[in-house]
Amino acid sequence: MKDTLFSSQLSFNTKGILREFSNPIVMGIINATPDSFYGKSRVNNLEMALKKAAEMINEGASILDIGGYSSRPGATEVSEEEEIDRTILLIQAIKKAQPETLISIDTFRSKVALEALKNGADLINDISGGQMDSNIFNVAAEHCCPYILMHMRGTPANMMEHTSYDNLMLNLIHYFSVQIRKAEQAGVKDIIIDPGFGFSKTLDQNFALLSQLDSFWALNKPLLAGLSRKSMIYKTLDTSSEESLNGTTALNMIALKNGAMILRVHDVKAAHQAIALHLKLNAVHKNSKA
């Protein structure tokens, strides 16, 4: 077992405040959508959102990721205005109730990101990595906002038509190098990369990506892994997203071993426990070598 590049710390600046985390952290998913692939992640009203947020924070979430646009294949298209309506009131209410908790807006639209940041959001989580709306880089830079840059080809509607790669890992590293440079040229200071499990990748490609996750160390950016209850788990196990918690935890442990510093999940408690066990294993391993 080798030490990972990012095992010592994770730090980023949110609106002038430096946030430092000595260990991997958990991002909890809250979907203000009627059609996200995992039903229990959806919230339909403010009361439900506040209850879910409090529960996730109590279970160990450091970031709450609020989304108003489902990115699953075949999801219904929504306008910018509807996406804003779905998310802004939730962000305002959660930030008021939990002011110390970091909130991420899950969007690829710069207008939605801007409104979210104005109303309490701290990070931008962009599934398109700036490809669908490059102005989102400017929004992140102007608001001193950490930016999560994910890999995807095409759009959520057609991404599974774009799964052909000359070399999966080399193609992804090239993509990140190009998009990171664009973001940094726009003035974005803190960039987190997300390889995009389930986006524009076949089942086998997802597992190949997980097994080689440490290849992204070359980019010298913190790494987020979003594996929670995805089809690579339930299709492999011939089950459903509802029955994929155990599989999620198993793959999260592999992601942690290979350098992930943020786990984006539906089930915060299980992910928080996985991190605790991962840290214990690392500590004992280091002591045994001393």
Catalytic site includes residue 289: no
pLDDT at 42: 63
Distance CA 163, CA 86 (A): 31
Report if residue 4 sits inside a domain. Answer: no
Regions in the chain scoring below 50 on pLDDT: 1-8, 37-38
Q: Among residues 95, 109, 221, 264, which one is catalytic?
A: 264
DSSP 8-state assignment for residue 69: S
Distance CA 23, CA 262 (A): 9
Report if residue 248 sits inside a domain. Answer: yes
Give the amino acid at 170: L
User: What is the total count of domains within the chain?
Assistant: 1
Give the amino acid at 271: A
Report if residue 247 sits inside a domain. Answer: yes
> How far is Cα of residue 18 from the mean position of the Cα atoms in its chain?
20
pLDDT at 33: 75
DSSP 8-state assignment for residue 110: H
Inter-axis angle of helices 135-142 and 168-186, nearest 10: 50
Report if residue 3 sits inside a domain. Answer: no
Report if residue 148 sits inside a domain. Answer: yes
Alpha carbons within 13 angstroms on the beta-carbon side of residue 222 total 23
Range of the domain at 203: 10-289
List the beta bridge partners of residue 11: 20
Report if residue 5 sits inside a domain. Answer: no
Domain containing residue 218: CATH number = 3.20.20.20
Question: What are the backbone angles phi and psi of residue 29, rounded to the nearest 5°?
Answer: -95, 125
Q: What is the pTM of this model?
A: 0.92
Distance CA 20, CA 160 (A): 36
Residues 15 and 144 sit within 8 Å (Cβ to Cβ): yes
Inter-axis angle of helices 110-118 and 80-97, nearest 10: 20
pLDDT at 16: 84
Report if residue 253 sits inside a domain. Answer: yes
Report if residue 157 sits inside a domain. Answer: yes
Q: Among residues 96, 230, 257, 280, which one is catalytic?
A: 230
pLDDT at 5: 41
Q: Three-state DSSP class for 245? A: helix
Catalytic site includes residue 72: no
pLDDT at 71: 78
